[in-house]
Amino acid sequence: RKEVEQDPGPFNVPEGATVAFNCTYSNSASQSFFWYRQDCRKEPKLLMSVYSSGNEDGRFTAQLNRASQYISLLIRDSKLSDSATYLCVVSTLTFKTIFGAGTRLFVKA
């Protein structure tokens, strides 16, 4: 079993749709959680950190469920520019950061 698992997609959605990604992790000692965005053939960039209480940044909402060991990312009112691969990232206190393989999103007009 992979330490961090994501549905690879692709998710094909129309503009304006709401789309949700889930990510599961296997190490219960994980402490820090992030979502990164990676455009085609580019470097990953931090989209948002994920806090225990959940957090929102504009159209993006991240949730953490420690009991079930998964995190989620919700994108509301999808834009064409949201088309990218979304990477789930999980870290432990002992300096071990694991990147998921990513979920591809295509937003179409």
Positions that interact with another protein (CB under 8 A): 4, 8, 31-32, 34, 41-46, 49, 87, 91-102
For residues 20 and 103, is the Cβ–Cβ distance under 8 A? no
Closest to another protein by CB, 1 or 14? 1
What tokens appear for 59 in the block? 């159209």
Q: Single out the residue of 66, 60, 62, 72 nearest to residue 23, CA to CA.
A: 72
Closest to another protein by CB, 33 or 78? 33
Q: How far is the CB of 18 from another protein (least distance, A)?
A: 25
Q: How far is the CB of 35 from another protein (least distance, A)?
A: 11
Distances (CA, A) of 55 to 13, 24, 29, 97, 107: 23, 18, 21, 21, 23
Q: What is the DSSP letter of 39?
A: -
Which run of H or of E encompasses 74? strand 70-75
Q: How far is the CB of 37 from another protein (least distance, A)?
A: 11
Closest to another protein by CB, 14 or 53? 53
Closest to another protein by CB, 32 or 52? 32
Q: How far is the CB of 99 from another protein (least distance, A)?
A: 4
